[in-house]
Amino acid sequence: MLVVKKFGGTSVGNKERIMNVAKRCIEDYKKGNDVVVVLSAMGKMTDELIAKAKEINPNPSRREMDMLLTTGEQTSVSLMAMAMDSLGVPAVSLNAFQVAMHTTSVYSNARIKRIDTDRIMNELEQRKIVIVTGFQGVDQFDNYTTLGRGGSDTTAVALAAALHADACEIYTDVDGVYTADPRKVPNAKKLDEITYDEMLEMATLGAGVLHNRSVELAKKHGVALVVRSSLTTEEGTVVKENVKSKRNEISGVAGDDDAARIAVMGIEDTPGMAFKIFNVLAKKNVNVDMILQSVGHNDKKDISFTVKEEELDIAVKALEDYLPDSYYEEIKASKEVAKVSIIGKGLLNHYGMAARMFNALYKADVNIRMISTSEIRVTVLVNQEDMVKAMNAAHEEFEA
């Protein structure tokens, strides 16, 4: 049996936790299993590296940031190999170059293209535990790239798919997937299982348990995931195609305060203007989420949309630099917003779900600024200060 285990930064945040993870992996190894371990950077190391970079240069290039940030995972995997060696078990640490983790060239947000598995399989055949850096890859020009926050999850799932692993376990500082972030919604409940589609929506909309691309890959390749805590032995949450347990109308409520709103005002109400705006952003690799276009008036219209907060300045500058002044009257931007969503397969089969959500927010005195929907989720944009209140109101309404 081949098992891929991923451990997050808090799981390897100090000596005691590194030794704890080493022992947990060795338990599987001693059962005769092949074990591949994927690690994130220790604790707050990534944040510390970002802070150090900005002390030197407030606006560092993404290429150099990726070069710097990959050192965090390399520290984790080498220390873990040393820990296992001290416990008498052979282990080897490998970085993205040594595995050959091929990615696109989009710095800070690269996508995995393929993984060469020969080196890993060779080490496993020698009965070693293989420890791989998460979050990073190498592009066609031999530059380091990173996969975005939470990218170690994606590394683990991609490895599980490439190696045809029998299990893929994601260990975090929580014991599974909850109906909402229990730090923000005290009544949140742990789910025994959840579908790929529901988990993908939750991950995309702010639930930090899994990286959204890891769920995409798991669904594509049929990799069953288990999310559990590295600090306890309790059963976690299984993420898979279909679930059998009895469900409420929705599976969960998500909140995301890593959002910013841009409004391009007074655009000519003619064909092609939306393309011109979003093409500028696409060329700068800025991901756009919620989009709202107003009804035209006086041959003018407004287009509002959301981006990640960290990409706000890049997006606004790109629009100002590449759109002629004649195309619009004004660009407004705000970081004081957040997204709140309800997610669940039940939205497909129950009428009035959006209305119930809007009523719950109305009773909680939360103003809605934008609305976006899909088959299995309803998302609203609210003032950032209202996010937690809105999450609790929606959670209570649906008894998620």
Q: Which residue has the higher pLDDT, 393 or 174?
A: 393
Query: If you write DSSP's letter for every residue of 315-349 in order, what string do you get?
Result: HHHHHHHHS-GGG-SEEEEEEEEEEEEEE-GGGGT
Q: In the numeric block, which tokens belong to residue 321?
A: 């630099």
Cβ atoms of 229 and 171 within 8 Å: the answer is yes
The answer to whether residue 246 scores a pLDDT higher than 60 is no
Q: In which band, very low, low, confident or very high, does the pLDDT at 50 lie, cut at 50, 70 and 90?
A: very high
Whole-structure pTM value: 0.81
Q: In which band, very low, low, confident or very high, does the pLDDT at 159 lie, cut at 50, 70 and 90?
A: very high
Cβ atoms of 120 and 94 within 8 Å: the answer is yes
The confidence score (pLDDT) of residue 128 equals: 98
For 56-87, the pLDDT digits (tens) are: 999 999 999 999 999 999 999 999 999 999 99
Cβ atoms of 337 and 306 within 8 Å: the answer is yes
For 282-316, the pLDDT digits (tens) are: 999 899 999 999 887 778 999 999 999 989 999 99
For 174-208, the pLDDT digits (tens) are: 889 999 999 899 999 999 999 999 999 888 887 77
Instruction: For residue 373, give the 3-state DSSP assignment.
Output: strand
